[in-house]
Structure 1
Amino acid sequence: MTNSRRNFITSISMLAASSAVPISAFAFTKSKKLKIVLVGTGSRGISFWGKRLVDQYSEILEFVGLCDINPGRLEYAKGRMGVDCPTYVDFDLMMEKSSPDLVIVTTKDSTHHEFIIKALEKDCDVLTEKPLTTDAFKCQAILEAEKKSKKKVIVGFNYRWTPYSTKIKELLMKNTIGKITSVDFHWYLNTYHGASYFRRWHGEIENSGSLWVHKATHHFDILNWWLDSEPKEVFAYGDLDFYGKNGDFRGVNCRTCPHSSKCDFHYDITKNKTSMEMYVANEKHDGYAPDKCLFREEIDIYDKMSAQIKYENNVVLNYSLTTYSPFEGWRVAFNGTEGRIEAWVDIPYNKNIELDQSKLHTEEMDQAGNEGMEQQPIIIHRLWKDYDNLNVVSEKGGHGGGDKRLQDSLFLNPSEQDPYGRSAGLRDGAMSCLIGIAAVRSIEEGTVVKIKDLTELVPTAVRS
C-alpha cells in the first residue's frame, strides 16, 4: 500500500469538515480503494468531480457508479472520464447495487437535497457541489437528515483554497487593520459568462433558487469564512432589467433563432465540440441543451442584485452582483478600526492590460493544467500611514488554483491541520445559501429577514 493511500485511509476521519462541525467527516477505515458514485453528469460533474479525480487520485479511489436522468449523457460521461463502471438512471438502484462509501452530488441545484438525504439515510458520506440547496425547507430537511445519520456532508467550496483568498484570510487573522467593522464586496459577471446562466436551467428560480443562491453562495461563503462570523439579517433589492422579458426579440434557442444576425448575444454552440457531444447529441433524451434564448419569457431570476447583510459580530456587508458587466472580476474592501484592505481580481483598469473577456471564464474553469501564474495585488492602508502594496502569486486555471487544493485536502492530505480552516461542512453550506435565500425573501416581502427564522440554525458571532 502506498504512503498516499495509507495516509488517506488512516487519517481521513481527522478531516475537519469546518470549525463549526465535529472533526469526523469522511470516517472511512477500509483498506481498499474508496468507492465513489457520482449523480449528475453535467460539465462540472464530468470534469472536476469526475475526470480530474480519475486522473489524479485513481490510486486511492474508484468510481463504482454514475447516475443521471439522461442515458445518453451517462455514456458520454463514461468515455470522457475514462471509467468502466455501471450507469443508472435510478439513484436508488445505484445505491443498492454499488454500495458506495462516498456520494458526489452535482445535479441541478433544486434536486441536491433529494440525493444528499438519500445518501445519508444509506449511511454514506456526501460531497455536494455548491449551493447546498435552494430553499429553507430543503435546507432544514438536510440538517435533520445529517443529525440522524452517522455520516457527514462536505460542500465543495473552492474559492477558500485559492492562494489569493488565503492571503486575505491570513491578513484578517493577524488583525492587520484592527477590528473589522464593514465590508464592500462587488462581483461582476461579463456579457459572456453572466449571459450563460440565463441560457441554461439557472434562469428559472425553481431550478436554481436564483443567482442569489447558485452563484452568490460562493461569495457569501468566502465572506463568512473571511469574517469568521455568521450572518444575522439580510435586506435586499433585485430585479430583472436586462435579460428575459426585456429583449426586443426572442427565439427558442440560438441554433434555430431567426434573429441571430442582429443579436449581440448570439451563441453558436455548434462551434463547441464538448457541448455538442455532451448536451446537443443527448438533447433528445430530456430536452436540455445550454443554448436557450436569453430573452425567453420563462426567465424569472434577477439580473441585478444588491444586499446589506449584518453579521452577528456587528460587521455590516454591502454586496452586489451584476450579470451584464463589460468585464469579469470582483472587488472587496475591508474597513477596520486601524485601516483598510483592498483586493480585486481581473479588473482590467487596475491591471492596465487588455483581457480577453470571452476567454476569462474558460481559463478559470480549465482543469488541464494551464494554470498560468500571475501576481495579484492587495492594498493595506493603515490609519495615519501610507499604503503598502502586497503582491500575491496566484494562478488562473482551476478557479485560481482553488480546485486542486480543495481536492488534495480531501483525498491526499485529510489529516493535515489547516490553520485557515478552509474545509467546509454542512453548517458552512447552510449559512452561505441561507443568505441568498433570505435575500430572495427580502425582495419578495420588502422586509429585513433574520437568518434564525429560516431554519433551526442559530447564527453565532464567531464560527466555532
Structure 2
Amino acid sequence: MEHSRRTFLKSISMLSASAALPVSSFAFGKGDQKLKICMIGTGIRGNGFWGKRLVDKYSDILEFVGLSDNNPGRLAYAKKFIGVTCPTFSDFEQMVTETKPDLVIVTTKDSNHHEFIIKGLEMGCDVLTEKPLTIDEDKCQAILDAERNSNKKLIVGFNYRWSPYATKIKELIKNDTIGKIVSVDFNYYLNTSHGASYFRRWHGLREEGGTLLIHKATHHFDLMNWWLNSDPEEVFAYGDLEFYGDNGPFKGKNCRECDFKDKCDFHWDITKDQSMMDLYVNNEKHDGYIRDNCLYRSEINIYDKMSAQVKYANNVVMNYSLTTYSPFEGYRVSFNGTKGRIEAWRHVPYLQDSNIDQKNMHAAEMDQDNDAMNHEPIIIHKLWNDEYDTQVVSSEKGGHGGGDSRLQDKVFIDPNKKDEFDRSAGVRDGAMSILIGIAARKSIESGNPVRIEELTTLVPREKKLV
C-alpha cells in the first residue's frame, strides 16, 4: 500500500473539524516523501500510542525526526522503546528548528500542552495534541488565537468517538430513534485500581491536570457534545475531596518505601512492573517525579467526587457524575427523548458477562492487541411499546473499544473517506469539551452556575444534523 505525504497532510485538515480553508491548502509537499513527525513528551501515552504504534503500523508513510522531553532518562528509554534512530532534544524549539517537521505531536503534562501547541503552530507545523486541549480558559483562548492566526491546524486525539459502541449510540440518535432528546443521565465509574492511579500521579495536582473534571471528563464531555450535536451553554456543579489526600488513615513516602504496606488496601508494588521501573523509577534522579506516590499525601488538591448539570444550546439537560473509587470500572448513559429512551453501558459487571478482573480492567481497555469479540447491548424503549435491544459487535483490535485503531486509521489510511458520523475532532471540539470541566470547577468554587460564553470568545451553538 502506497500513501503519499501529500495524501497524509490532506488528512490533517480533514481531521480538524474547525478547518475553514479548502483541503488542498494543506497539501504542501510533493511526491511520495514520508511525513516528518516530532513528539514532545515521552511518557506512557506518547511512547506507546503515538510513538511505537505509529512506527509499527505506519512507517511506510511517516518517520520520526525528533523526540523531546525534559527528562533525559525517559527520553533515552523512549527512543529505544519506540524503535527510532532520530535525534533527541531537551529543547523543543531547537528540535523543530533543526528537524523541520510537518507534524508536532504533544503528549506532555496537561498544564503545558498550550506552550507546545502554540509554539508548534507559530513555527509552521500542524499539531496533534493528546486530550485534554489544556486546563484553563486563558490557555484555551491563547490556543484558539494561535490557530486562528496561523495557516496550520490542530487535531485533538479524541478516540472514544471512534468505538463501534459509541458510534451506534450516535447512529440511533441521528436516526430519530427516540425523537428529540430532552435529557441525559451519564454516570462514569473509575475503579479502585484505575481511579486511584490518578491520585498517585501528577494528575492529583490541579495546577498540572486541572482536576479530573478536565483531564478525565474531557473524554466524556466530548462524547456527549458529539452525541447531542450541540455545544454546552451553562454548567452548575458540586465536587469535593473526601476519600484520597488528607482523608487517608496514614501516609507514606511512596508505595515502595511505605511502613503501611501490609495495612493499605491501595498498596501498589511498582517494582513488579519492569517497564514502569525502566521508564519512571530509574529516572527519578533527573526530575524528582515519583510514579508511585502516596494516595494520601497532603499535596493532593483535586476532587474525588464530582457531579455536574449541563444545559446545552439545543435545550438538552445532562446530569453527569464521576466516581473515582468505585468497585467496578465503566459507565452508564441514558437518553430521554420525546419518543422513548435509550439505555447503554460499558463494562458494568452485573449487566454483562466479563472474566476480566477489575485490577486489569483498564489495561484490557487500553490493550492495542485486544481482539476479543464483544457483544454489547443497547436497550431502546419506545413509548407505549415493549423495549428491545440492539447488539453492537466489536471484534477489531485496538484500545478504547476499537476507537484507538479507528482514529489512527482515519488519519493515516482513509483521510478522504466521508464519515457520516462526523467523528473527527478539531480545536473547537477540544475547547468545548474542556470548557464544561472548567465551568464545573469554577461553579464548585463559586457556588454559582457558569455560562460557557463567559470563558472564551467561542459562542455556544446548536449544530445542524447532517
- What TM-score does the superposition give when structure 2 sets the normalisation length? 0.96
Q: Residue deviations 1:233-262, cap 9 Å, x none?
A: 000000001000100100121000111110
Q: Which amino acid aligns with 1:388?
A: Y
Q: Check whether the contact 1:164–1:392 (CA below 8 A) recurs between aligned residues.
A: yes
CA apart distance, 1:309: 0.2
Alignment partners' CA distance in 1, 2:464 and 2:429 = 9
CA apart distance, 1:412: 1.1
Long gaps (5+) in structure 1: none
Alignment partners' CA distance in 2, 1:145 and 1:370 = 38
CA apart distance, 1:365: 1.1
Q: Check whether the contact 2:13–2:153 (CA below 8 A) recurs between aligned residues.
A: no
Secondary structure at the counterpart of residue 154 of structure 1: strand
Q: Check whether the contact 1:236–1:443 (CA below 8 A) recurs between aligned residues.
A: yes
Name 2:382's counterpart in structure 1: 382
Change in CA separation of 1:9 and 1:438 when aligned onto 2, cut-off 3 Å: closer
Name 2:141's counterpart in structure 1: 140
CA apart distance, 1:24: 4.2
Alignment partners' CA distance in 2, 1:373 and 1:7 = 36
Secondary structure at the counterpart of residue 399 of structure 1: coil
Name 1:312's counterpart in structure 2: 313
- The runs of 4+ residues in structure 1 deviating greater than 6 Å are none
Q: Which amino acid aligns with 1:27?
A: F
Alignment partners' CA distance in 2, 1:25 and 1:108 = 33
Q: Residue deviations 1:247-297, cap 9 Å, x none?
A: 010012100011111000000000011100111111110111310000000
Secondary structure at the counterpart of residue 462 of structure 1: coil
Change in CA separation of 1:17 and 1:409 when aligned onto 2, cut-off 3 Å: same
Name 1:286's counterpart in structure 2: 287
Name 2:175's counterpart in structure 1: 174
1:247-258 aligned within 5 A: 247-258=248-259
Name 2:26's counterpart in structure 1: 27
CA apart distance, 1:200: 0.2
Q: Check whether the contact 1:131–1:429 (CA below 8 A) recurs between aligned residues.
A: yes
1:87-236 aligned within 5 A: 87-236=88-237
CA apart distance, 1:370: 2.3
Alignment partners' CA distance in 2, 1:267 and 1:397 = 27
Alignment partners' CA distance in 2, 1:25 and 1:37 = 23
Q: Check whether the contact 1:14–1:414 (CA below 8 A) recurs between aligned residues.
A: no
| Number of residue pairs the alignment of both structures matches | 462
Q: Which amino acid aligns with 1:67?
A: S
Name 1:12's counterpart in structure 2: 11
Alignment partners' CA distance in 2, 1:161 and 1:453 = 31
CA apart distance, 1:21: 5.7
Long gaps (5+) in structure 2: none
Change in CA separation of 1:272 and 1:23 when aligned onto 2, cut-off 3 Å: farther
Alignment partners' CA distance in 1, 2:159 and 2:5 = 25
CA apart distance, 1:25: 9.6
CA apart distance, 1:353: 4.5
Change in CA separation of 1:229 and 1:23 when aligned onto 2, cut-off 3 Å: farther
Alignment partners' CA distance in 1, 2:6 and 2:94 = 32
1:229-248 aligned within 5 A: 229-248=230-249
Name 2:62's counterpart in structure 1: 61
Of all paired residues, the percent bearing the same amino acid is 63
Secondary structure at the counterpart of residue 399 of structure 2: helix
- The Cα RMSD (Å) is 1.6
Q: Check whether the contact 1:191–1:325 (CA below 8 A) recurs between aligned residues.
A: yes
Change in CA separation of 1:230 and 1:251 when aligned onto 2, cut-off 3 Å: same
Alignment partners' CA distance in 1, 2:166 and 2:370 = 20
1:373 aligns with 2:373: yes
Alignment partners' CA distance in 1, 2:10 and 2:137 = 34
Alignment partners' CA distance in 1, 2:21 and 2:313 = 22
Alignment partners' CA distance in 2, 1:85 and 1:19 = 32
1:422 aligns with 2:451: no
- Greater displacement, 410-419 / 344-353: 344-353
CA apart distance, 1:463: 6.2
Alignment partners' CA distance in 2, 1:224 and 1:22 = 24
Q: Which amino acid aligns with 2:183?
A: S
Change in CA separation of 1:103 and 1:250 when aligned onto 2, cut-off 3 Å: same
Change in CA separation of 1:232 and 1:22 when aligned onto 2, cut-off 3 Å: farther
Alignment partners' CA distance in 1, 2:329 and 2:372 = 18
1:394 aligns with 2:394: yes
Change in CA separation of 1:86 and 1:352 when aligned onto 2, cut-off 3 Å: closer
Change in CA separation of 1:307 and 1:13 when aligned onto 2, cut-off 3 Å: closer
Q: Which amino acid aligns with 1:126?
A: V
CA apart distance, 1:444: 0.3
Alignment partners' CA distance in 1, 2:350 and 2:327 = 12
1:436-455 aligned within 5 A: 436-455=437-456
Alignment partners' CA distance in 1, 2:464 and 2:322 = 25
Secondary structure at the counterpart of residue 219 of structure 1: helix
Alignment partners' CA distance in 2, 1:6 and 1:129 = 22
CA apart distance, 1:371: 2.6
Alignment partners' CA distance in 1, 2:11 and 2:297 = 47
Change in CA separation of 1:148 and 1:54 when aligned onto 2, cut-off 3 Å: same
CA apart distance, 1:95: 0.9
Change in CA separation of 1:13 and 1:303 when aligned onto 2, cut-off 3 Å: closer
Change in CA separation of 1:198 and 1:111 when aligned onto 2, cut-off 3 Å: same
Alignment partners' CA distance in 1, 2:176 and 2:79 = 49
Alignment partners' CA distance in 2, 1:177 and 1:23 = 36
Change in CA separation of 1:166 and 1:350 when aligned onto 2, cut-off 3 Å: same
1:268-347 aligned within 5 A: 268-347=269-348
Q: Which amino acid aligns with 1:75?
A: A
Alignment partners' CA distance in 2, 1:125 and 1:379 = 41
Secondary structure at the counterpart of residue 281 of structure 1: helix
Q: Check whether the contact 1:217–1:432 (CA below 8 A) recurs between aligned residues.
A: yes
Q: Check whether the contact 2:310–2:319 (CA below 8 A) recurs between aligned residues.
A: yes
Q: Residue deviations 1:88-140, cap 9 Å, x none?
A: 11111111111010000000000000000000101110000000000000000
Secondary structure at the counterpart of residue 254 of structure 1: coil
Change in CA separation of 1:25 and 1:93 when aligned onto 2, cut-off 3 Å: farther
Change in CA separation of 1:381 and 1:206 when aligned onto 2, cut-off 3 Å: same
Q: Which amino acid aligns with 2:14?
A: L
- What TM-score does the superposition give when structure 1 sets the normalisation length? 0.97
Q: Which amino acid aligns with 2:330?
A: G
